[in-house]
Amino acid sequence: MTTAHEPASDTGAPPAQLTEREQIAQLARATAVASPMAEPAPEPTFAEGVRAYVQRVRAGDIGSLPAVLGLVVLFVLFSSLRPETFPSPINIANLIVQASSIIVLAMGLTFVLLLGDIDLSAGVAGGASAGVMASTISVLGAPWYLAVLAGLLTGLVIGTLIGLLVARVGIPSFVVTLAFFLGLQGVTLRLIGQGGTVPVRDPVIVQIANGNVPIVLGWVLTILAAALYAGLTIRRWLGQRRRGLTRDNGGLVIARAVGVAAALVALTAVLSQNRARVPSIVLAGMPWSVPLIAVLLVVLTVVLGRTSYGRHVYAVGGSAEAARRAGISVPAIRVSVFMIGSTLAAVSGIIEASRLNSVTPGSGAGNQLLLGVGAAVIGGTSLFGGKGKVSNAVIGGLVVATITNGLGLLGQPSYVNFLVTGGVLLLAATVDAVSRRRRSSAAI
Amino acid sequence: MSEPASPTSPATTPLLSLRGVDKSFGAVQVLHGVDLDVHAGQVTALVGDNGAGKSTLVKCVAGIYTTDAGEYSFDGRPVQISGPKDTAALGIEVVYQDLALADNLDIVQNMFLGRERKKGGLLDETSMEELARQTLASLSVRTVRSVRQLVSSLSGGQRQTVAIAKAVLWNSRVVLLDEPTAALGVAQTRQVLDLVRRLADNGLGVVLISHNLNDVFEVADTITALYLGRVAATVRTRDVTSSQVVELITAGRSGDLGAAPASASATA
């Protein structure tokens, strides 16, 4: 072995040594072929694909599996306890509208949580942004789009301030956003006045949570979305197979596309039923917040999963030092996630204002933030950073809204609601912490 | 690779060459007239006791520190180094002791971190995965099953492999490895040393910083021993014994080897 490592040749080296050198080079070439990387990646069989997933789950990479199971359990539970009211189309539509603002809030929080930070002010940032929007209409008489823009800008400014304080000054995000949680409530109170409410009557804004998509358009959008998802994933899989890259089993890819399509069709079918309580009117179609969330889901998923910005967010969350050495500006990424988080919080606040037709000084203050963080974490986003998806926020938001909605139908007093939601958040955080330990112990 | 490439032979042009490098931090002079040659296709081991200046020298080579005096030449041409960007442009990559990989990303994502390939504004996963596979195949890596597994699922040796593969991905010509086997078991050390050897066989200039003389004697072609910020000696591995190198590290001289800095620089 030692002779193999001598310098290539020096003056007067015997020719035998040169040939040995060549032999080594040949050996290296031969072993290069033996490397699994030189051959196309084998496609796993259906069973292997399923087994690999089970193994990932057991190693602590559980994703949104507990949330999906929890959602199923909750649906079965509440449907059997309140078979008349809970599974009715009007309640499902109601539940989705209730979940909308939580889902969007959780989507924004996902970005912040991916860095291992927390934004305690997201709820009240949404309230303050909604207050600005409502006041822009009622005081200045501005059209709805300018008012929405003002609301979104409010969120962006709040997020930028928080981000700069955290990333540039170096204050822990917990403290900065706790200060903003208090301060922003003061801002909303000053804007609206003690005990006051600003009504939201603009028809377009009210429509977000209270209007429905025409049934035909709803079906067109649903079929388009299902077909696009199936087409894009299958096209990608075919490309991976052609080039011999790592890929899932083809059957699993098709099964997923069929599953997504079935879920979308089932949802649209339920929401397309007439749910009016009186026979004289027709109330049907998906609420406008559904396509709004769908668009946000697609755009943010692409941003996180398919752009280098998203890749850098994950990298900073996983190892800030590795990201820094790779030439990524860690402070810039940190500022940007707070900007995204608070801007989406503003969207969430506007949806909530639309649902309630008003903005009060307490908007977004109560347990809105707890529900948002809960939705993200229950959905499978890690509190420790580096792990999570935007789609987790959707599933988690539905779980949280189902709990609130179901307990309300059971006639439970609101303290039970607080206790249960708090308990579920704690449970999700426990699952997160335990699975994280499994992940790190599975490493070496 | 086939031309004469021994440090004592004046006919060779080293790929990377430092001459008379001084470096001080305030009043403390850490490097005194250090000479270092790195030849293509060879492993140069950099050995020395704690505080001998190994890390400082590596950071000077990497451009993280600017030198106070001395010449830096690459491919026989003198170059001005004012930062890590300059050395990266020359094709000099450093694999640090703590590997700087993100656990939550997979191998491909880590290898391209900060230098992602894009197509139409979006990440071009296909070409990145292909290139990562080619790089690992060219290094005859057999220990990694799939390039799409998360780094958190890799062993220490596999992580080191990924870190090294990341360094060679960018058409680098010189790779500096800071204690690549420090935290590894026997089998994994074996894998990494094989990989280090293969880097040199692929025509790269490799600098191996190590405390472990077994590793050094196994893969290095030449050894540069630092002693108190000076080059005690630069020797061919096959010309010396392990105990001679130990003496160079601990005393700065061994018999007629090395010692006086003047004689060390005379070989240049």
A439 contacts B100? CB cut-off 8 A: no
The average pLDDT across B187-191 equals 82
CA distances from B260 to A90, B182, B235, B241 (A): 91, 31, 14, 20
Share of chain A above pLDDT 70, in %: 91
pLDDT at A229 over 90: yes
Q: CA A326 to CA A343: how far, in whole Å? A: 28
The average pLDDT across B16-38 equals 91
The average pLDDT across A275-297 equals 89
For the stretch B116-143, pLDDT in tens is 899 988 999 888 998 898 888 887 787 7
**What pLDDT shows up at residue A145?**
93
Residue B55 near chain A (CB below 8 Å): no
Interface test with B, best of A35, A37, A324, A333 (most B CBs within 10 A): A37
**What pLDDT shows up at residue A23?**
52
B123 contacts A321? CB cut-off 8 A: no
Which structural domain range is residue B207 located in? Answer: 16-99+156-266
B138 contacts A41? CB cut-off 8 A: no
A265 or A432, which is more confident? A265
**What pLDDT shows up at residue B260?**
52
Residue from the list B113, B147, B201 with its beta carbon closest to the beta carbon of A322: B113
- Residues ≥6 apart with Cβ < 8 Å to B174: B15, B16, B38, B61, B90, B91, B92, B93, B204, B205, B206, B207
The average pLDDT across A173-180 equals 95
CB A154 within 8 A of CB A346: yes
Residue B155 near chain A (CB below 8 Å): yes
pLDDT at A96 over 80: yes
Q: What is the domain partition of chain A in residue ranges? A: 73-195+307-437
Least confident among A93-107, A303-317, B144-158, B211-225:
B144-158
Interface test with A, best of B44, B201, B241 (most A CBs within 10 A): B201
The average pLDDT across B92-115 equals 86
Q: Which residue of B has its CA nearest to A244?
A: B130
- B77 within some domain: yes
- B108 within some domain: no
- Chain B: give the shortest CA distance to residue A4, in Å: 9
**What pLDDT shows up at residue A3?**
42
Residue A295 near chain B (CB below 8 Å): no
**What pLDDT shows up at residue A35?**
67
Least confident among A246-260, A267-281, B201-215, B247-261:
B247-261
pLDDT at B19 over 60: yes
User: Please, what is the average pLDDT of chain B?
Assistant: 84
List, as ranges, residues 110-149 from A with C-beta within 8 Å of B.
none
CA distances from B135 to A23, A37, A307, B128, B199 (A): 22, 9, 23, 11, 11
- B180 within some domain: yes
Q: Which residue of B has its CA nearest to A240?
A: B126
Q: Which residue of A has its CA nearest to B110?
A: A315
Q: Give me A275's structure tokens.
A: 């749910």
Number of compact structural domains in chain B: 1
pLDDT at B145 over 90: no
**DSSP letters spanning A71-106:** HHHHHHHHHHHSTTTTTSHHHHHHHHHHHHHHHHHH
Q: What is the CATH number of the domain that holds B247?
A: 3.40.50.300
pLDDT band at B4 (very low <50, low <70, confident <90, very high): very low
The average pLDDT across B93-113 equals 86
Strands B16-25 and B28-38: antiparallel
The DSSP symbol for B17 reads E
B175 or A63, which is more confident? B175
pLDDT at B11 over 50: no
Least confident among A6-20, A225-239, B7-21, B165-179:
A6-20
Residue B44 forms beta bridges with which residues? B207, B222
In B, which residues are within 8 Å of A8 by CB distance? 1-3, 5, 41-42
Residue from the list A7, A246, A322 with its beta carbon closest to the beta carbon of B5: A7
Least confident among A144-153, A213-222, A384-393, A414-423:
A414-423
CA distances from B258 to A147, B70, B90, B244, B249 (A): 78, 20, 31, 10, 11
- B52 within some domain: yes
pLDDT at B7 over 70: no
- Look-up of token digits 């040594």: A17
Q: CA B86 to CA A424: how far, in whole Å? A: 53
pLDDT at A20 over 70: no
The phi, psi pair for A323, rounded to 5°, reads -65, -40
**What pLDDT shows up at residue B251?**
84
- B60 within some domain: yes
**What pLDDT shows up at residue A13?**
39
**DSSP letters spanning B153-219:** GS-HHHHHHHHHHHHHTT--SEEEEESTTTT--HHHHHHHHHHHHHHHHTT-EEEEE-S-HHHHHHH
User: Please, what is the average pLDDT of chain A?
Assistant: 86
Q: Which residue of B has its CA nearest to A26?
A: B201
Q: CA A102 to CA A387: how far, in whole Å? A: 20
pLDDT band at A22 (very low <50, low <70, confident <90, very high): low
For the stretch A127-166, pLDDT in tens is 999 999 999 998 888 899 999 999 999 999 999 999 999 9
Least confident among A48-62, A105-119, A260-274, A282-296:
A48-62
Q: Give me A24's structure tokens.
A: 């080594």
For the stretch A363-398, pLDDT in tens is 888 788 888 999 999 999 999 999 999 999 999 999
pLDDT at A207 over 70: yes
For the stretch A231-263, pLDDT in tens is 999 999 998 888 888 888 888 899 999 999 999
Least confident among A191-195, B37-41, B261-265:
B261-265
**DSSP letters spanning A19-62:** HHHHHHHHHHHHHHHHSGGGSPPPPPPHHHHHHHHHHHHHTT--
Least confident among A291-295, A388-392, A412-416:
A412-416
The average pLDDT across A333-351 equals 96
- B3 within some domain: no
- CATH fold of the domain at A73-195+307-437: ABC transporter involved in vitamin B12 uptake, BtuC (1.10.3470)
Residue A56 near chain B (CB below 8 Å): no
**What pLDDT shows up at residue A34?**
60
pLDDT at A330 over 80: yes
pLDDT at B263 over 50: no
The DSSP symbol for A287 reads B
For the stretch B146-167, pLDDT in tens is 888 888 888 888 888 888 888 8
Residue B160 near chain A (CB below 8 Å): no
pLDDT at B267 over 60: no
Q: Give me B87's structure tokens.
A: 């050395």
What stretches of B23-114 show up as alpha helix (H) in DSSP? 54-62, 84-90, 107-111
Residue A299 near chain B (CB below 8 Å): no
For the stretch A48-79, pLDDT in tens is 888 888 887 777 777 788 889 999 999 999 99
Nearest to B97 by CA among A321, A328, A441: A321
Furthest CA-CA distance within chain A: 105
B26 sits in the region (left: phi over 0; alpha: psi -120 to 50; else beta) called left
B129 contacts A246? CB cut-off 8 A: yes
In A, which residues are within 8 Å of B221 by CB distance? 5-7
CB A394 within 8 A of CB A382: no
Strands B230-236 and B222-227: antiparallel
